[in-house]
Amino acid sequence: MPHDIKVLVVDDSAVVRKIFSEQLSKQKGIIVIGTAPDPYVARDKIVKLKPDVITLDIEMPRMDGITFLKKLMKHYPLPVIIVSSLSTKGSKIALDALSLGALEVISKPSAAYSVGDMSLQLAEKIRAVYGAKRMASPTQNTEKKPLISIGSMALAATTNKVIAIGASTGGTEAIKKVLTRLPHNTPGIVVVQHMPAQFTTSFAQRLDELCQMRVKEAQNGDMVINGQVLIAPGNYHMIFKRSGARYYVEIKTGPLVHYQRPAVDVLFKSVARFAGANALGIILTGMGKDGAAGMLEMKKAGAINIAQDERSSVVFGMPKEAINMGAVDYIQDINCIANKAISLLETM
């Protein structure tokens, strides 16, 4: 890195600002150059201090974080991490923030003095989004508009197939771009997106409103069936299993893998074991190497794998690791992955 990552902390709590400043500045390669109690102060400090990354609370006086984020992305786009108490209502608002251009979301403990415990996690998120590409402005039209006729039976022959998707930083929008382009009768899909607990419920609900397939947060024992997408719940691993001709998932706790739970590798390795050549793997934007080893196991088991290309990735970490391992068969722009998957499934 040419210099330490300059961070501006925007939060109405003086305690949070103080603890973040102290704890983050202890992390290698990170320096907190300023704090702000509200967006108006933040605006002036952004112009003066020119931070590389901003941590942004949602509920603040004078102007809420969502309104500020809209203005920021329009006039002075920067990598933004949402740090907020994610209740059910809050997680829905955080999804709005991601669609507006925020790159990561992290859950803030209810007790302000507990935020120091999350400094390592926040530091990793800061490193992940530093230098990340700004995502293209999302469309405001959220109507269901499938690119393939929902009456098509093109995928009907793939009843025993499964699609496994893994993503991290920038992944919520990338996953949306893939899933909204798939017809209602697509083979069952299992998804791991690195995100906090309670956030995945709202994420699944929003995707369900946009997609032709049914999308739900996975529960233990859920079947993997045509026309349904299962999202791994935050803070739990999702394991793909088979019983006879039936595919299903197990939801369980366990140690962090690549500092993550849920972890893409956990899902991909189980898909390799129980689906083998009946699986299609997709790895999307994200920092680190989670999913690369699992995708290689999928390939060795006969699966076909797709990675998002560097140009369309917010962070070309996870796809690059999988490509370098030799685990990937096709490298695609995010807007082409769905159609590529459909064409591959028709030949499997």
Run of H or E residues at 281 = strand 279-283
Cβ neighbours, 10 Å, residue 273: 15
Helices (H), the chain: 14-24, 39-49, 65-75, 88-100, 119-129, 171-179, 199-210, 264-274, 292-300, 318-324, 337-347
Is 194 a known active-site residue?
yes
Is 290 a known active-site residue?
yes
Chain centroid offset of residue 218 CA:
16
Instruction: Say which of 84, 91, 184, 194 is annotated catalytic.
Output: 194
SS3 percent helix, strand, coil of the chain, rounded to 5, is 35, 20, 40
As given in the structure block, the two tokens for residue 136 are: 């293209």
Instruction: Say which of 52, 290, 309, 313 is annotated catalytic.
Output: 290
Q: Give me the residue label for tokens 């590798």.
A: 265
Instruction: Say which of 84, 107, 119, 168 is annotated catalytic.
Output: 168
Phi-psi region of 315 (alpha: psi -120 to 50; beta: other; left: phi over 0): beta
Is 64 a known active-site residue?
no
Chain centroid offset of residue 140 CA:
20
Residue 155, judged by CB atoms within 10 A of its CB (0-12, 13-18, 19+), counts as: buried
Listed as own residue / partner, the contacts of 21-24 with beta carbons closer than 8 Å and 24 or more positions apart are: 22/116, 23/116, 23/119, 24/119, 24/122, 24/123, 24/126
Q: Which residues are catalytic?
A: 168, 194, 290
